[in-house]
Each structure stands twice: as C-alpha cells, then as structure tokens.
Amino acid sequence: MRAKLEDVCVRGSSSLKQSDVIDKTGEYPIYGAAGYIGNVDFYHQDQPYIAVVKDGAGIGRTSLYPAKSSVIGTMQYLLPKENVLPEYLCYVVKYMHLEKYFTGATIPHIYFKDYKKEEFNLDILDRQKEIVNILGRIECVISSRQQELQKLDELIKARFVEMFGDPYVNPLKWKKLKIKDAVTIEPQNGLYKPQSDYVTDGTGIPILRIDGFYDGMVTDFASLKRLKCSETERQRYLLLEDDIVINRVNSIEYLGKCAHIKELLEDTVYESNMMRMHFDPEYYNPVYICKLLCSQFIYDQIVNHAKKSVNQASINQKDVLDFNIYQPPLDLQNEFADFVHQVNKSKVVVSNIS
C-alpha cells in the first residue's frame, strides 16, 4: 500500500556539536555528516534509526545507525515506527533523494516538514525483509567496486608523494610560495540566487554547487541544476576551463573541498558558497594543484585560518591567498597529470562493470 514518510517514522533532533565530543571516550558511537566521529560515554537512541544530513554539504545523505548511538546537530533523526524495518526505511529514504528539498544558498538546509509527505510503497514486514536481503546483496557488489576505486585513489596519492615528496617536509626542496603569488585570477566568491530563480524546464544556465563535485572532480556537468541569470551575472560568474573552485563555507570537515574544472559542456556559473581561482599555466598544472589542495597539508592550513561558529566554518579570499604551496618543475607536474589521467580511465572501467 501507499504510505507517507510521516506514517512510518518520527522526527528527532540533536543539539550536539562536533566540538562537544572531541577528546571524549566511551563505548557508544557518535556520527556526523561524514560518518563516524568517535565514541562517547552516552547515547541518545536506544534502537536502530535513520539519520539524514540536513545542513551543509551532503544534504540528504541517508545512513542507518545502530542502537545505543547518537548523531550531531547537522543530522536529522528519523525514528522508525513498528510498521517498518529500519533497513527498509533507509533504502526508501535514500531513493527519495531528499536533497531536492534544499533551501538556502550559503548553507543549504532541508526540513522534515518539507519532505514528510513523500509517498512510497509500504510492504508487509515479511516482504520488507525479502527486499532488504536483495538490496543488501546488490550493495555488496557496489561496495566491492567502491573498494577498487578507493585503491585507485590511494595509488594517485602514493604517486603524488613519490614524485613531489611529503608536503610537510618538502624533502626535494621545491620553491615554497603563497597562492597569492601563483594565481592569474584571485579567488572570487560565486553567485547567490534565490530558489525561485532555479528552473526545471531545461532553460537557463547550469550552476555548480558543492554537491556537484567530489574528490577534486565535477561528477556530472549534465546533471547540474539550472537557473535564470542576467548576462552581467553570466559574465561575472562564468567558470573557465582549468579553473579551481574551493568551498568557502561549510561544516568544518567539508570546508575547503575543491575541484578542477575540466571539459565544460556549456557556459556554467558557480554558487556563492565557493570561490574560483585560476593558477598561472606557465608554472602550474591544475591537476597537480587540485591534488595538492585536496591534501591534508592544505586542509590543516584551512582549519588554522577558519572562522568557526555553530555547525559551520568559513574561509575568505585573504585566507586562501595566504595558503602555502610548492612549485615543482612544470614537466614533473605534467607527468603526474598524465598518470592521473590513466588512473581515471581505469576508474571509469571499474565504475562501468555491471
């Protein structure tokens, strides 16, 4: 039978901040938008439950968590009623793609009141168990593919250190400088537009949002949301080939998330919670730069510069310009970029295996 989401679960909230649980110990796990944070000596839920990211990057991401655990305040509890299995509910909510209910441009949010009327097929409990078992087997196959992809990502990271050395040590004595001395276009904030300017009829212009890229790459330019914007806005916020974009406001674990803009399909703009910049192509390959910016070496600088508040943090143009980077020979950077290109081709093959 058809049912609404509010018929099978109860909304719950958390007031915990990540800073509340740092350096705590205990036997009960606590989770955030990026997953497991650590263990504490208390728990908020005594039964398995669903948690949905409701603030910042990754909004709508859905997870099933065990009894005697908790989440921080960027997550929404969905507590299953007796007519639904927690595992079944998790699959249902994932399928709903709740990110479509986002509001806000700087920090996107989703609210239970907006998606609680979502409908789905509610089977009897025995049938739910069958469906969960089938989907579980499928997820095992997917997990295996993801592990292969992770190993390829680790191969790239290992090759980076092999060619350029550990950035913390700089054993090869590359020239060290600030980003301000390496860019031809300094960091610029993106475009803010209200939700009413977004369109779904294929008109307008695509806009890159923080959920549109992962691990330094835009996942799919063709699937970007579209909006109405003036010619002045288009020219001011237009992305260029080989630009680098970096997230400027988010929860601390996602702050500084970046991507290399490559193979644009059409004119595309970028949203206000990120900055874009362009490195001098005479001295820098953007593939090398993007991998450096995605490193722990840069992330530690981001954290040191970040302005922190409840559930979010931010960096500005001045902060980014002050980050330290290295300038290896361009030929070596190009060699690394060629290696990354070959590994990415292997990743496509793995992703396409049925």
Q: Matching CATH topology for 2-122 and 175-327? A: yes
Rounded-to-integer distance, Cα 208 and Cα 185, Å: 18
Where along the chain do its domains lie?
2-122, 175-327
pLDDT tens track of the chain, all 354 residues? Answer: 899 999 999 999 999 988 888 788 899 999 998 899 999 999 999 999 999 999 887 889 999 999 999 999 999 999 999 999 999 999 999 999 998 888 876 778 899 999 999 999 999 999 999 999 999 999 898 888 889 888 999 999 999 999 999 999 999 999 999 999 999 999 999 999 998 999 999 999 999 998 899 888 898 899 999 999 999 999 999 999 999 999 999 888 889 999 999 999 999 999 999 999 999 999 999 999 999 999 999 999 999 999 988 778 999 999 999 999 999 999 999 999 999 999 988 888 777 764
pLDDT of residue 24: 85
Indicate the fold that domain 175-327 takes in CATH: Adenine-n6-DNA-methyltransferase TaqI; Chain A, domain 2 (3.90.220)
DSSP string across 275-301: EEEEE-TTT--HHHHHHHHTSHHHHHH
What architecture does CATH give domain 2-122?
Alpha-Beta Complex (3.90)
pLDDT of residue 353: 62
pTM, two decimals, is 0.69
Instruction: Please state, as a whole number, how many other Cβ atoms lie within 10 Å of the Cβ of residue 81.
Output: 11
pLDDT of residue 19: 81
pLDDT of residue 48: 97
Is-contact 75 52, C-beta < 8 A?
A: yes
Kind plus residue range of the DSSP H or E element containing 157: helix 125-164
Torsion of CA 179, 327, 262, 274, to 10 degrees: -20
Which residue shows structure tokens 């049925």? 354
For the segment 96-125, what is each residue's pLDDT rounded down to a tens digit?
A: 999 888 887 677 889 999 999 999 999 999
Query: Phi-psi bin for 204: left (phi > 0), alpha (psi -120 to 50), beta?
Result: left
pLDDT of residue 145: 87
For the segment 230-246, what is each residue's pLDDT rounded down to a tens digit?
A: 999 999 999 999 999 99
For the segment 172-227, what is each residue's pLDDT rounded down to a tens digit?
A: 999 999 999 999 999 999 999 998 999 999 999 999 998 899 888 898 899 999 99
